[in-house]
Amino acid sequence: MLRLRLLTWDVKDTLIRLRHPVGENYSAEARVHGIQVEPEALNKCFHQAYKIQSKHFPNYGLNRGLSSKQWWVDVVKQTFRLSGVHEDTVLAPIAEKLYQDFCIACNWEVLPGATETLRQCSQQGIRMAVISNFDKRLEKILSQCDLKHHFEFVLTSEDAGFAKPDQRIFLKALRISGVAPQLAAHVGDDYVKDYRAAREVGMHSFLLKRAGQANTWESDVPEEHLLPSLPHLLSVIKKG
């Protein structure tokens, strides 16, 4: 049984996930403006646009003078341009509306076991926080999903100025909490950004394994560090 004073969490695809594929939201908003684009096409174009934007302007382009909102607005516009829609007078209001929509709880769902696991960790007296590659909308999303009250603080990559797997975001969380790394653990669904990165600063970590998830890392992760479900965490940790 691992004794802990601090448990940090990834959020997207660990505690919550999008309720629908991005393309469905984009297609629905486009229809409001009289534009017909298939959701599947927009989903494909979104992933292309997101990949390009992330490569050219990592962590929302903060060190290049962008705001996270402008970064996302550009992703939305480029998604539609790749799908053949180029009228900026239409793309601007679509992008603005979609940016706002993705902080509304109806577009997110809490993953099975998340609420109960957080509740029981809180009952044990384990301090908890968030370390997430996300923008400033995350606190509002967590509040709307009724999860924020479980966390002492929410540290996003926008707040920190560094994105996982950069060690500095984990070190900043440890400084904020005042907890030594050997008394802290991190939970997430990404081998490199969550599991390995936390261990590189001396924290413990657990990797959430999703059914059907392809991986090349399983031989590198001891079975006791793999979580087949979030509630499984409760059997391996306790307050230190």
Q: From first to last of its 240 residues, what are the pLDDT tens digits of the chain?
A: 789 999 999 999 999 999 999 999 999 999 999 999 999 999 999 999 999 999 999 999 999 999 999 999 999 999 999 999 999 999 999 999 999 999 999 999 999 999 999 999 999 999 999 999 999 999 999 999 999 999 999 999 999 999 999 999 999 999 999 999 999 999 999 999 999 999 999 999 999 997 666 666 767 899 999 999 999 999 999 887
At which residue do the structure tokens 């929509």 appear? 101
Q: What is the pLDDT of residue 216?
A: 67
Structure tokens at 158: 């926008």
The CA dihedral of 17, 163, 155, 222, to the nearest 10 degrees, is 70
Measured CA distances, 1 to 45, 224, 233 (Å) = 46, 11, 10
Task: State the pTM of this model.
Answer: 0.94
β-pairing, 16-18 vs 2-4, is unpaired
- Report d(CA 130, CA 164) in Å as an integer: 12
- Report d(CA 175, CA 184) in Å as an integer: 12
Q: What is the pLDDT of residue 211?
A: 67
Q: What is the pLDDT of residues 205-232, one digit of tens each?
A: 999 997 666 666 767 899 999 999 999 9
- Report d(CA 160, CA 163) in Å as an integer: 8
At which residue do the structure tokens 């399983």 appear? 218
Q: What is the pLDDT of residue 69?
A: 98
Locate CATH 3.40.50.1000 in the chain. Answer: 2-17+108-239
- Under CATH, what is the fold of the domain 18-106? DNA polymerase; domain 1 (1.10.150)
Locate CATH 1.10.150.720 in the chain. Answer: 18-106
Q: What is the pLDDT of residues 41-53, one digit of tens each?
A: 999 999 999 999 9
Alpha helices in 112-164 (DSSP H): 114-124, 138-144, 157-160
- Report d(CA 204, CA 163) in Å as an integer: 19
Q: Are 234 and 187 in contact (CB under 8 A)?
A: no
- Under CATH, what is the fold of the domain 2-17+108-239? Rossmann fold (3.40.50)
